[in-house]
Amino acid sequence: MSQPDPPSEVMPRHVAIIMDGNGRWAQSLGLPRIEGHRRGAASVRRVTELAAQWKLEALTLYCLSSENWKRPKTELEFLMHLLRQYLIDERQTLRDQNLQLRFIGRLDRLGDEVIREVEMTQRLCRDNTGTELVLAVDYGGRDELTRATRSIAERVQNGSLRIDQISEETIAQQLDTRGLAEVDLMIRTGGDIRISNYLLWQISYAELWFTTKCWPDFGEDDFRDAVEDFASRQRRFGGLL
């Protein structure tokens, strides 16, 4: 398969996506909600392949929020099954595409079977040097900042850090995303225009792009449109051009 050219000379380094609308997409077609999640996995494959081909530094996908535990047990069990199956089915593809793999969030609350596949896939990809695929699982921006604050407080308490040494960099280094470029472009599908507790620190100066398309319908053309729109914007970061 020929590799598509990057959509613009001005490319974001780090793209984050809120993959919303799986359940609504399925219900609009008279299908069970879990079918929407199943079909959404195909969109994950499409955007991941494009991110690798366009040589983005990082692609972060919001797979499961810390608030999603409120959903019905059967749906949550299916989401865990889907994540585990994705790691098994896509393991060789991730390696072949030279993708690095990182997870952010609370992996400690996932089942042993999922954690085993996470660790196995990360071992297989540990020598890769291309785009970093970041999967946000059981993730919440407020939870991440709370955990970071506790870690900094512990350092102050044990004397390894003075209060006057705390800086933005100190906080950034305690986040799950430490070492990654800040998000340049945040995409949300599904029609809602909100952030939903996603990467609250990291999107401070991100360009936001929303679409009414539900995630299972999000394709290459949509990803291109978002990146091209990003390239057309003037980013001043609080200054003047």
Structure tokens at 146: 């709370």
Confirm whether residue 71 is marked as ligand binding: yes
Q: Decide if 138 is catalytic.
A: no
Confirm whether residue 20 is marked as ligand binding: yes
Confirm whether residue 224 is marked as ligand binding: no
Confirm whether residue 21 is marked as ligand binding: yes
- The helix or strand, by DSSP H or E, that contains position 171, with its residue range, turns out to be helix 168-172
Confirm whether residue 30 is marked as ligand binding: no
Confirm whether residue 23 is marked as ligand binding: yes
Q: Single out the residue of 203, 219, 216, 239 nearest to residue 16, CA to CA.
A: 203
**Contact indicator for 60, 17 with CB cutoff of 8 Å:** yes
Choosing from 68, 143, 225, 229, the catalytic residue is: 68
Task: Report helix, strand and coil shares of the chain as percent, to nearest 5.
Answer: 45, 15, 40
Confirm whether residue 167 is marked as ligand binding: no
Q: How far apart are CA 6 and CA 117, in angstroms?
A: 32
The Cβ-side half-sphere exposure at 2, using a 13 Å CA radius, reads: 3
Residue type, 15: V
Q: How far apart are CA 13 and CA 62, in angstroms?
A: 17
Residue with tokens 């909600």: 33
Choosing from 5, 20, 138, 158, the catalytic residue is: 20
Confirm whether residue 195 is marked as ligand binding: yes
Residue type, 217: D
Q: What is the Cα 97 distance to its own chain's centre?
A: 18
Confirm whether residue 171 is marked as ligand binding: no
Q: Decide if 68 is catalytic.
A: yes
Confirm whether residue 67 is marked as ligand binding: yes
Confirm whether residue 84 is marked as ligand binding: no
Confirm whether residue 209 is marked as ligand binding: no
Q: How far apart are CA 157 and CA 24, in angstroms?
A: 48
Confirm whether residue 24 is marked as ligand binding: yes
Query: Binding-site residues for Mg(2+), please?
Result: 20, 207
Query: Binding-site residues, please?
Result: 20-25, 33, 37, 65-67, 69, 71, 188, 194-196, 207
The residues that are catalytic are 20, 68
Query: Binding-site residues for substrate, please?
Result: 21-25, 33, 37, 65-67, 69, 71, 188, 194-196
